[in-house]
Amino acid sequence: MKRTLLFTSCILSGVLVLSISAIFNSCKSNVGRTYELTGDTLADGKALVQQHCTKCHALVPLDALTKDVWTVHTLPAMAQYFSIKTYGSDFYKDENDTSGMSLLNWQTIVAYYRKAAPDTLVAAKAPTPLLNDWAGFTLRKAERASDIPFTSMVMANPKTGNIYTGDVVTGNLTEFNNQLKPINKVNLPSAAVNLQFIADSAGVNQAIVSCIGRMDPVDFPNGRVFKVNLGSTLKLNQLETDLPRPIQTLSADFDKDGKQEVVICAQGFHTGGVYLLRHSADGKGYKRTSIADWPGAVQAITGDFNNDGWADLMVLYGTGDEGLAMYINNKKGGFEATELIKFPPTNSSTSFQLADIDHDGDLDLVYTCGYNFHDSRILKPYHGLYIYENTGKFSFKQKWFYPINGCSKAIAADFDSDGDLDIATIAFFADMKDKPAEEFIYFEQDKALQFKPHAIPVSKLGRWMAMDVADVNHDGKPDILLANYATGFLFQPNFAPNWDEHTPFIVLENHTKK
C-alpha cells in the first residue's frame, strides 16, 4: 500500500493521520504472494525485488550501492520487515513463522545483489568545474570560543540583524550582536536546531525554538518546543514537549481565526510525524493534533498552493518512503494530501525550496540530498543539488543536477542583484578527504539554468552543519551564515578534522556586483 492511499483514507478529528504501523503491516500482509522461481538468479532476484521492495518506498536502483553495502548493511537492516532474522551475515527464519516471504525467496534476493550490484560506485562528473575564488564575498568570523563548538543552528533576526546559535554540547541558545560577539544566552534542555521568528506590530521580538532532543536518529521523544522572548534577556515559555526529534517549527493561520497555529516537523526515527498546535479553548495553551503520523520529515513550508486564499503546507520526507507531499487546506480543520514526487531512500533528502528559477512564473523545485550517516556510509554520485522544473500544478521534471557529496542544504536568492536567482549550498557529508571545497559552493546563475559554481575557500574554517541567508549588515544584499559543527559525525575512515575547531560560525558578507 502506498503512502498516498493512506493519506487520503485516514482522517481523525478533521486532521489527516498517517500510521507507519499501517504501512509495515501492509507490507507484511502483501509479501506472502508466491513467486515461482525459475532458477535464473538475475531474473528471479529482479522480479522479487520489484514485487517486495516497492511496498514501502520507491525502488532503489541496483547500482545505488555497492554489493558489500547491500549484503552486509542494507539487506540485513531490511530483513526484519519480512520476518527474516540475521545472525552475522547469515539469514534464518523461524519454522513456525508463516508471515513475510520465504527464506528461499529472501536468499534469492541476496544472491541477486551479490551477483549484480557493482563493486564500487563511479564518481559523478560535474557539468562545470569549480572556480576557486571569493566571488565577491568577504569573510567575517564570530568571536573565537575557548571550547570546541558543536553549532547546530545559526539564524539571523531579520529585524535586528542579531544572530542566534544552538550548541549540542552546552545546550545554549546564544545571541550575537552585529560585531559577532556573544551578548546573551539561555540554556535549553537540548540543542536548538531551528528558530521561527515571529513578527507583530512592534517588529520581530519573539521566536519559536525547536530543541531536537537527540541529534542521532533514535526513537526517544525528549524534544521540546519553546517560545522565546528576544529582549534584553532571553525568556522561555514551553509550548510542547515529548516530541520525537523536532527539527523545524513554522506558523500560519490555517483556520482564519486571526491566530497563528504552529506546525512541528518531528523527524523521529521509526516513529515521528508532522503535528499541528492549535490554540486551546481557554487561550492558555495549545492542543496538539496530527497532520501526518509518519517519520522522516526534514523540512516544511507554508503557502497558498492552490490559490484559494487558505494557507497550505508542503513537507519533504527524507528517510524511508522519501518524497515531497503537499497538504491542501480543506477549510474544515484538516488537509488533503497529494504526493508530488518520490525519491529512493538512498537519496536521504535534506532540503527543498520553491523558487522561480527559469522565470516562467511557476515555482520550481530546488532540492538537495545527501544525509550520509545511515548504514551505507559511502560517497554516492547521485547526492547533490537538483532543480526540477514546475511544468504546471506542481508537476516536477528534473532539469539540472550538480553532484555534491553529502549535500545538506540549498538556499536560492539573488545574491548579485542581477534579477535572477543564485544558489548557496553546504555539504555536511562532503568528501572531506579529497574534495573539501564542495563543503560550500556558491552557484552564480548567468543565464536560465546555467551556473558558475564558486568554491569559496572556507573549508579550513569549519565544518558546516547549518546555513542561513539574511541581510546581516543591512546593506540591501543577502549575506550567508555558516554554522561550525566542529567535530563528530565523521564517516570517512582514516580521516581527522583539519579545520578550525574554535570558531562557532562565520558570515560571508555580500559585496557582489551586478
Kindly state whether residue 448 falls inside one of the protein's structural domains. yes
In this predicted structure, what is the pLDDT of residue 16?
Answer: 28
Same domain, 323 and 177: yes
Same domain, 141 and 111: no
Same domain, 164 and 47: no
The domain that holds 298 is classified in CATH as 2.130.10.10
- Chosen domain end from 116, 143, 177: 116
Same domain, 483 and 394: yes
Cα–chain center distance at 293: 17
pLDDT exceeds cutoff 80 at 15:
no
Same domain, 490 and 363: yes
Query: Would you mind telling me the total number of residues written for the chain in this entry?
Result: 514
Helix axes 41-52, 103-116, angle to 10 degrees: 110
Confidence at 203, pLDDT banded by 50, 70, 90:
low
Tell me which H or E stretch contains 263: strand 261-266
In this predicted structure, what is the pLDDT of residue 177?
Answer: 95
pLDDT tens digits for range 311-338: 999 999 999 899 999 999 999 999 999 9
Confidence at 392, pLDDT banded by 50, 70, 90:
very high
Same domain, 446 and 498: yes
Kindly state whether residue 31 falls inside one of the protein's structural domains. no
In this predicted structure, what is the pLDDT of residue 171?
Answer: 97
pLDDT exceeds cutoff 60 at 42:
yes
Kindly state whether residue 124 falls inside one of the protein's structural domains. no
User: Of all residues in the chain, what percent carry a pLDDT higher than 90?
Assistant: 79
- Chosen domain end from 61, 89, 116: 116
Same domain, 96 and 149: no
- Chosen domain end from 65, 87, 116: 116
Confidence at 89, pLDDT banded by 50, 70, 90:
low
Q: What is the mean pLDDT of residues 460-478?
A: 96
In this predicted structure, what is the pLDDT of residue 430?
Answer: 98
Same domain, 326 and 251: yes
Kindly state whether residue 108 falls inside one of the protein's structural domains. yes
d(CA 172, CA 58): 39
The domain that holds 108 is classified in CATH as 1.10.760
Kindly state whether residue 224 falls inside one of the protein's structural domains. yes
Kindly state whether residue 28 falls inside one of the protein's structural domains. no
Q: Which of 147, 150, 145, 177 is nearest to 164 (CA)?
A: 177
> Across the chain, what does the average pLDDT equal?
90
- The count of structural domains within the chain is 2
Grid cell for residue 312: 497550505
d(CA 204, CA 194): 16
Exposed / middle / buried, residue 293 (Cβ in 10 Å: 0-12, 13-18, 19+): buried
Kindly state whether residue 22 falls inside one of the protein's structural domains. no
Q: Which of 126, 107, 104 is nearest to 115 (CA)?
A: 107
Same domain, 275 and 391: yes
Kindly state whether residue 27 falls inside one of the protein's structural domains. no
Contact 101, 31 (CB under 8 A): yes
Q: Name, in order, each residue with C-beta under 8 angstroms of 49's C-beta and a sequence gap of 6 or more.
A: 59, 109, 112
d(CA 512, CA 514): 7
Same domain, 100 and 192: no
pLDDT exceeds cutoff 80 at 360:
yes
Higher pLDDT: 12 or 374? It is: 374
Same domain, 105 and 182: no
In this predicted structure, what is the pLDDT of residue 24?
Answer: 38
pLDDT tens digits for range 432-460: 999 999 999 999 999 889 999 999 999 99
Q: The domain containing residue 347 runs over which residues? A: 131-510
In this predicted structure, what is the pLDDT of residue 200?
Answer: 65
